[in-house]
Amino acid sequence: MFHDVGLLTPFSATEQRFELDGADHARAFLLERGFPAAAADVVWTAIAVHTTPGLPGRMGPEIAATTFGVLTDAIGWSLDRLDGGQVEEIVAAHPRGEFKKDFLQVFVEGLKDRPDTTYGTVNADVLEHFVPGFRRTSMVERVTGAPWPS
């Protein structure tokens, strides 16, 4: 429920990755309702890393399941491995509408005013595609532009 909330106001007030905004709000939500800190930490981690390729699938089951669910929803990852009838049932109960367009627009709106938070993430792809003049900073530029003499 909280994995993309950091893209929306008022959950995106801080200058950090939207994933961390969502993770922070999810943790606070759970702790305020008496969930154990360890459970809140698992949820925090699952949300914080859900857009980081390669890591979540090697972490705990809740973390992997969060990412794999997001990937299935957003890009159809392993959709062909799911029962077609069940997928139709789910989509009938929860229509996708103009998901592709709307989803990407929410990303643009949630990230365009804090583009530096997209460094090293798939989120930079969205801004690079939709925001004229956006250019991602590369790791090479960060190293070569570092204040060290050589």
Q: What is the pLDDT of residues 96-146, one digit of tens each?
A: 999 999 999 999 999 999 999 999 889 999 999 999 999 999 999 999 999
pLDDT band at residue 10 under the 50/70/90 scheme: confident
Would you tell me how many other CB atoms lie within 10 Å of the CB of residue 39?
13
> pTM score, two decimals?
0.89
Instruction: State the burial class of residue 119 (Cβ atoms within 10 Å of its Cβ: 0-12, 13-18, 19+).
Output: middle
What is the per-residue pLDDT for 9? 84
Q: What is the pLDDT of residues 46-103, one digit of tens each?
A: 999 999 989 999 999 999 999 999 999 999 999 999 999 999 999 999 999 999 999 9
Rounded mean pLDDT, 15-35: 96
Are the beta carbons of 126 and 108 closer than 8 angstroms? yes
